[in-house]
Amino acid sequence: MARRRSRHGAHEEAHENHERWLLTYADMITLLMVLFIVLFAIGETNKSKFDKLHDGLAASFGTPTVVDGGQGILQGSQNQAPVPDESREAQVALARQKQQQLSAAREKEQMDRIRALITAALAKKGLVDAVQFSTDERGLTVNVVTDRVLFDLGQADLRVEGRDVLDAIAPALKGLPNHVTVEGHTDNAPISSARFASNWELSTERATTVLRYLLGHGLAPSRSSAAGYADQRPLVANDTAGHRARNRRVAIVVLSMTSQTPGQDPFPSVATPVPGA
């Protein structure tokens, strides 16, 4: 019996020693699993940080990066976004604006040159005070006073002094490509005579008289016109004798090329407003 127990005990001890390696193996597997878990956690953290960095760079530059699986920076022509219509229209508008600015600058130089020529010619005759210049979007306006210069009061026949003034103006207008319009103006004092029923007829007759003289001195009929405006376009209020004298004038307007319709005269050859219209 003692021997049998001894054998049985030895067998159990051998069996216990034989299975002890399983504990070591289990410990090793556990350690490996812990190691993999730690490595996985580190990898996930780095990936999260990388994704945040990548998204931040993409948002800052406003373009996708090569990490997104694009075709690379060497094939940028295939990845470029089409130019929006708004950008193309803005470029066209900017080019048009620059062209208009250049045209306006050239026209200003031309108007200044015309003004200088007329001023020099009037200075030789001592008639500088007979005209006043103004420039606006229409072009250059030469206002010639009528009293004791162009016409006698209430008349439309050129005075000698008026011919001298127009002789100084006409050479500067000859050969210009611009349209030239002659406009007659009066004050608000009513007129009624055998020749002129109202200021409409008087202003129109004065404008056409000046135009005929300029046509006889080289102004082209195809680019000229005349109109009478009576007292409807005063320079100043008709409240004093001096102001009324300023409003009695003939305006010779050299129209800007940009204010004209290509191929079309901005005014008819002679415009005669209907009284009371």
Neighbour tally for 220: CB within 10 Å: 15
Q: What is the pLDDT of residue 276?
A: 34
Residue of higher predicted confidence among 10 and 148? 148
Express each pLDDT in 173-231 by its tens digit. Answer: 998 999 999 999 999 999 989 999 999 999 999 999 999 999 999 999 999 999 999 99
Mean pLDDT of the chain: 79
Residue of higher predicted confidence among 271 and 195? 195
Residue of higher predicted confidence among 238 and 43? 238
Q: What is the pLDDT of residue 263?
A: 40
DSSP string, 14-50: HHHHHTHHHHHHHHHHHHHHHHHHHHHHHHHHHHHHH
Pairing, β 224-228 against β 270-271: parallel
Cα–Cα distances in angstroms (integers) from residue 122 to residues 18, 25, 178, 180, 240, in the given order: 133, 120, 22, 19, 28
Q: What is the pLDDT of residue 197?
A: 95
Inform me whether the pLDDT recorded for 119 exceeds 70: yes
pTM: predicted TM-score of the whole model, two decimal places: 0.61
Cα–Cα distance for residue pair 124/118, rounded to 1 Å: 10
Inform me whether the pLDDT recorded for 157 exceeds 90: yes
Inform me whether the pLDDT recorded for 50 exceeds 80: no
Q: What is the pLDDT of residue 94?
A: 84
Is there a contact between 254 and 173 (Cβ–Cβ < 8 Å)? yes
